[in-house]
Structure 1
Amino acid sequence: MPVQHPSHDYAITAMYSVPDDAWYLELDLVAEQRNLVTAIVPDEDPAREPTVCFDPRGSHMDVPYEVMRWFMDQVDEEIRTSRAWMRLRPELVEVIHELRQEYQGMIDDDRFPHVLAEVRARVPEADLPAVLDAAFGRNPDGTAVEHPKDTP
């Protein structure tokens, strides 16, 4: 569902591209149903950086500063939440990246204790919550991690 700018003239649509392992945030001009800017936020590969793209074939369009600032704030929040784990120590980023690649961010309850034991053998106990959250969205006890944007 698009997020409307307070002016209702612009909206942001967010979608996940599985083949790209990235979030796409599109700033649209609502009345013309026209995409103005697309931000791409990879969330699987620490080597890939977020990018912002403008349609090179599109005609010139003036976007008010406050609208662009609003869009970039949304992009910044997506980067922060999708890529926060990439700011951890390099050895933790490596473990998380491996887990995300192997398990695609999902693990069933039956397999979790086995993987938890493997992760405990590789990372210090103090880092366990951050690694499990980034890799699977779980706490060490196996429950789902609740993030502020997850709650109403």
Structure 2
Amino acid sequence: MRIFLALLALVFAAPLCAQDLLPPAPYAYRQLDDPAQEAKAQALMETLRCLKCQSQSIADSDAPMAGDMRNQVRTRIAAGEEPEAIRQWLIERYGDYVTYTPQLRPLTWPLFAAPLVFLVLAAVLLRRRFRRSRSSAT
């Protein structure tokens, strides 16, 4: 039974190990030759979140996935694509979590409205509380 479990673990662990053994993408750690294009790429990469790291941009992360994303950004910038089009492509591919600048959509508007609702609710409750305490004090 132990041999079976060990073999089973090896079978499932092999694909995980293979992922990290791949060589990095060409532009993962190499900058573009054109300084203007590299500046565009760097500015975009600082606004994109690494999907493996917590609160680290792909510009700062050493994760293999961040390297692949940097490669995609630089390759697309070198091909003449606009940074905002690249951002939209990454959002479509990975979801809103990939960007540090969330977008207002029908699904996300409650996240933007909730703080305002809580502030109004707190103001109403505090006003009632102070009105009662002033009424009972006089």
TM-score range, shorter chain: under 0.3
The structure carrying a bigger strand percent of its residues is 1
Q: Which structure's CA Rg is the greater one?
A: 2
Higher relative contact order (CA 8 A, sep 6+): 2
The structure carrying a bigger helix percent of its residues is 2
Give the TM-score, by structure 2 length.
0.25
